[in-house]
Amino acid sequence: MSSPTRSDGGTESLDLLRTIMGDMDSVLVAFSGGIDSTLVLKVAHDVLDARAVAVTAVSPTFPAIELALSQTICKEIDARQIIHETDQLRDPAFVMNTTSRCYRCKTDLYSAPGPLAARLGLAYVVNGVQCDDLGDDRPGLQAARESSVRSPLVEAAMGKAAVRKAARLLGLSNWDKPAAACLASRIARGETITVERLRRIEAAEEFLLREGFRQVRVRDHGGNARVEVGQDELVRLFEPMMQDFITSRLAALGFATVTLDPAGYRQGSANKPLVP
């Protein structure tokens, strides 16, 4: 079966997305504050008003800075936001950080919105999955299907470029926000996930963000840090004074060694070997 033609994110794409939302009548949006779920929430709220509600899952793997951003975005859109607290660290299989980690996490996260939507009288749970996500190995997609979560951006044939274009057309403040991922994804597969490791990673990344870097990952390989930033930020990362500053600050947080990765940010690279 051939894939549907990708939309370009222009007015026709937005009209289709609005039609999809209108046909749903009421939705609970699984909302992280990223640009994909932001576009879904914005269009849903424009079309459905109070019949579109955001739910944001808060757990030890969700950075506080991302929670604050999600709250800011909901205020900008004027959408109601419900905070759902969860804790994947209660699941021993998640803590062991096996290949099923993402699936178990998403299964846990998607277990709450369905019953919540029913209590609120909302017809559907929707997420921010877009077409470019479908080509990745993402067990979370399976968890979404098993929980009957719909993906309006996929239904509208929108990939990341189309999402950003549409978000910019709508004046969304985070239209160019770099992709984010849960903090557990920074820890190499097979290494135990602990609250202490998550908080140390979070502190390191917050430090780098405060220093003006936008695309940031601090990978944890057995207590050793590997720092990745966006390709357009590498020159600044390797300025001698910046290197020394970052190395000393991350060492003070408790990392045994600190490596600045000259290849820059790559999705899923926590499972690549650390090369000093």
CB neighbour list of residue 259: distance below 8 Å, 6 or more residues apart: 224, 225, 226, 227, 274, 275, 276
Q: What is the mean pLDDT of residues 200-213?
A: 98
What is the DSSP-derived secondary structure letter of residue 129? -
Task: Write down the pLDDT at residue 18.
Answer: 98
Place of tokens 């500053």: 245
- Alpha-carbon span 78 to 62, nearest angstrom: 23
Domain coordinates of the chain in residue numbers?
11-169, 183-271
149 or 273: which leads in pLDDT = 149
pLDDT band (50, 70, 90) for residue 10: confident
Closest by alpha carbon to 138, among 170, 99, 174?
99
Provide the mean pLDDT of the chain.
93
What is the per-residue pLDDT for 274? Answer: 52
Q: What is the pLDDT of residue 233?
A: 98
3-class secondary structure, 187: strand
Task: Give domain 11-169's CATH superfamily.
Answer: HUPs (3.40.50.620)
46 token code pair:
């424009």
Cβ-proximal residues to 75 (8 Å cutoff; 6+ apart), any chain: none
Order of strands, edge to edge, in the sheet holding 27-30? 80-85, 52-58, 27-30, 124-126
Taking every pair of C-alpha atoms in the chain, what is the biggest distance, in angstroms?
57
CA 109 to chain centre: 13
Instruction: Of 171, 181, 193, give the one whose Cα is nearest residue 133.
Output: 181
- Cβ atoms 143, 103 nearer than 8 A: yes
List, as one string, the DSSP characters of 59-96: -TTS-HHHHHHHHHHHHHHT-EEEEEE--GGG-HHHHT
* Topology annotation, domain 183-271: Alpha-Beta Plaits (3.30.70)
Binning pLDDT at 50, 70 and 90, where does residue 267 land? Answer: confident
Mean pLDDT throughout 81-99? 95
